Amino acid sequence: MQHKHPERRISAATVRDICGGISDMSLWRWLNDPVLGFPKPIKIGNRRYWRESEVLAFLDSREAMLAEAVS
């Protein structure tokens, strides 16, 4: 998947939307689960931002893992 801005920073609200509308608590759990390997945010001031490309790569890898498990 190609993006015009691979280093674009996105907010926690956008990350939650991209991840299927998860709650802030689910995002917190994903961040604190070392086995899951969810991308870590970049802090700017008191706000957290993620690289959009890292979040999408994480979701793609999870999708591939689930597809392998089913087949």
pLDDT tens readout for residues 30-70:
999 999 999 999 999 999 999 999 999 999 998 877 777 77
What pLDDT is recorded for position 65?
77
Report residue 69 as tokens.
């498990």
pTM of the model: 0.82
Greatest CA span in the chain, whole angstroms? 45
Q: Report which of 48, 57, 62, 64 is spatially closest to residue 14, judged by C-alpha positions.
A: 48
**Pair 52, 11: CB distance under 8 Å:** no
